[in-house]
Structure 1
Amino acid sequence: MSSQDIPEENLPAEQDTEHGAVAVADEENPFADPGLPPHEHRIQDIDARAAKRSERTVALLFTVSMLATLGFIASYVTIPNDRSIYVFPIGHISAMNFALGLTLGVALFTIGAGAVHWARTLMSDVEVADERHPIEAAPEVKAKVLADFQAGAKESQLGRRSLIRNTMFGALAMVPLSGLFLLRDLGTLPGTKLRHTLWSQGKLLVNMNTNQPMRPSDIAVGSLTFAKPEGLEETNEDFQKQIAKAALMLVRLQPENIKDKRELSWSHEGIVAYSKICTHVGCPISLYEQQTHHVLCPCHQSTFDLSDGGRVIFGPAGHALPQLHIGVNADGYLEALGDFEEPVGPAFWERG
């Protein structure tokens, strides 16, 4: 039977949709347009009390953001920058950094959470399909876009929900205050703080692992040992701040393998002491090549020759590792004979 024999009312209708697709597939149009699923109303669309609850929730999130911003400012002003706290399982960290990160994170998160909750529960969720158009839209399309924007602005209920509007504007206005307070320290120079560590004349070298003073016999040829100044304990409130400058590594070389004359005179029986802090960006150095006497920074592969004044032989580091002048006291323990003669760590400041 041909299509001409079928009653016209029984033929499937090829209904052209707004986008040029067809409702029923055929050979010329193998993909039918299923259209949009029926819209399902949310509880907030039909229950005014539920909508009010959502509004209060969004306002609460924006209010928490404002309180967190005030907490950020209060933390920055009141917490000393040398105070540390113990946070499990991280360990001792700066109390100010912890408070600033926590309050700023809460301020930003609650703004985002409030905006998402507002959009999901109160703004219109009706799906609107629109045909793609050339980059230069026709006048009628421009008029439609403008009308859609105005309708969307009306459906957002920004004018109607004054509680949400006011708290949102308050939260957005207060968040930049955090940055204004941070600008206060941009012009403050460190003075001589970066040029001094806890090392001084007579300070014993204490093994970082055993927490005991070291004798020359404790360091074998070819070994790498980490040390800290006498009296610096992990329980100290400023431990992280001080160890970041005073961390020391000791290597025992054969005296005849030491090329630099000053390095030889500053060592004891071939034991040389250098700063453990890489001079690139301050990472702790921990990799030692026994045969070449090279130490490698694991962060960016800066390599230093401990047999030749700690000079840089590879990588982005800008200058040699600072050496600590060491000797032995009357009791036979290794001791410092002074502080480093130059700042340890990255060359972020003028070294002239």
Structure 2
Amino acid sequence: MHAPVEKPRLTSLAHGGGCGCKLAPAVLQDLLSEMPKAGPFANLLVGTETADDAAVWDLDGRTSIIATTDFFMPMVDDPHTFGRIAATNAISDVYAMGGTPIFALAIVGMPIDKMDPADIRQILAGGASICAEAGIPVAGGHSIDCPEPVYGLAVIGTCPTAQVKRNSVARPGDRLILTKGIGIGIYSAAIKKGQLPEDAYPEMVGSTTLLNRIGADLGSDSAVSAMTDVTGFGILGHSLEMARGAGATIRLELEALPFLDQAARLAEAGFVTGASHRNWRSYGDGVVLPDGLPDWRRHLLTDPQTSGGLLVAVEPGHADKLVKRIRDSGYPRAAVVGSVAAGAARVIVS
């Protein structure tokens, strides 16, 4: 009798995984540099002119439509969990604009000759389960036969026009809050090598499948000036986007940043993604780090986050109260991690 053929690990079918698949910031900027401007559409409140999280279209001066899309290759081997993570990540961009999602469309590319159809169904079911948690349907989508497994969503949301939150309007004096821990890319690198400690996996899945629904609540808070989610460019890259958008300096306090429990140990042991290196090469000239900072600590700051937390700029007198509110809403790692100051558009880590 022939021995049964062992299915390949899901992560082995892809050259990268999660938001670590994103193009490096410098590459993306170069590709977009010659794109034609969106044109004189007065209703297009947010387009490609800034590095924001989603497009926003003002319908009538009162309500805006938010549109986004996000997809990537697997970062975990369980197909249902992969679907859940990808869907959570895609919906996050609507929350990051202060909006509420209303429906999603599935984006599916699968190597049909390499994958068990049951696993593909599990990916779709995982994504649908997160959409159900968010209170939205998967209303359609598109699928192709693809050399590597790819899954994600296009998500449509709404928001009162006056409450749209951008990443480019942080104000000098604002304090910065981060709502989730950092280290997802490092954990993913350890998974790829079969070295992630058993107790770290549920921590990773718990973080990456935690919807950023608090963003819709923060959209209605007038003390919040700007917001973005921290994904493939790491905390440094997305902070720098916020700094450049605002024309201000962002200061991050290294000891205040929340990290996943084993992120530092794994980074020091060398579990780092290629995206972490690409990120630093892309934007390192816009960042000032403490003298003598070891490379492994820098990798924590450039680590690509998949379904990461929200970075929130808020009036200084409201920061502590807002952190408590965010923690009470189910984000226990939320912390004040820095501030915005007048000055050159850069990030300073101290």
Q: Which of the five TM-score ranges fits, normalised by the shorter chain?
A: under 0.3
Larger Rg: 1
Indicate the structure with greater strand content. Answer: 2
Instruction: Give the TM-score normalised by the residue count of structure 2.
Output: 0.22
- TM-score scaled to structure 1, two decimals? 0.22
